[in-house]
């Protein structure tokens, strides 16, 4: 988990938590005063549902393909592509192909709901 200044893909995956309904692995990489960075990996059979939230989001696709919707725009995207979802604008996508879909999300301002969601998924030790 954070804080780390150099973020390797192996560390991002190792620190991730898994949400079984959407089949997504997520890791909170940076939780700064003004920004959050989240690593996200959807299994090929995963689900990135249409949703919105009160914070702005910029995302960079690292791997895979997806038919992305942001507001009224729909486009097939892949590694190296970027999208911007303004606050309260619907966005999500249909995963395409046999490969995982991996991207990083940048949120501003930081969202307590993201931290709560990820912490809720983290396994708790017993005892």
* Lateral strand order in the sheet of 65-70: 48-51, 91-96, 65-70, 73-78
Number of domains observed in the structure of the chain: 1
> Residue 61 forms beta bridges with which residues?
103
Ramachandran category for residue 97: left, alpha or beta (phi over 0 → left; psi -120 to 50 → alpha):
left
| Residue 111 within a domain | yes
| Residue 65 within a domain | yes
| Residue 1 within a domain | no
Q: How far apart are CA 56 and CA 67, in angstroms?
A: 20
pLDDT digits (tens, 9 = 90+) for 12-53: 898 899 999 999 999 999 988 999 999 999 999 999 999 999
Domain with 116 in it: 9-121
pTM, 2 dp: 0.87
| Residue 2 within a domain | no
Q: Which two tokens stand for residue 11?
A: 């560390």
Query: Does residue 120 have a pLDDT over 80?
Result: no
| Residue 3 within a domain | no
Q: Which residue has the higher pLDDT, 41 or 121?
A: 41
């Amino acid at each position: 988990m954070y804080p780390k200044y150099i973020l390797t893909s192996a560390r991002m995956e190792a620190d991730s938590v898994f949400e079984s309904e959407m089949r997504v692995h997520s890791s909170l990489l940076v939780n700064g005063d003004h920004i959050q960075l989240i690593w996200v990996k959807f299994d090929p059979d995963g689900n990135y549902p249409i949703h919105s939230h009160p914070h702005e989001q910029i995302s960079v696709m690292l791997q895979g393909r997806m038919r992305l919707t942001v507001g009224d725009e729909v486009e097939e995207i892949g590694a190296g592509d970027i999208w911007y979802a303004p606050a309260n604008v619907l966005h999500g996508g249909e995963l395409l192909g046999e490969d995982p879909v991996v991207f990083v999300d940048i949120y501003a301002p930081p969202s307590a709901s993201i931290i709560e969601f990820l912490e809720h998924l983290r396994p708790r030790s017993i005892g």
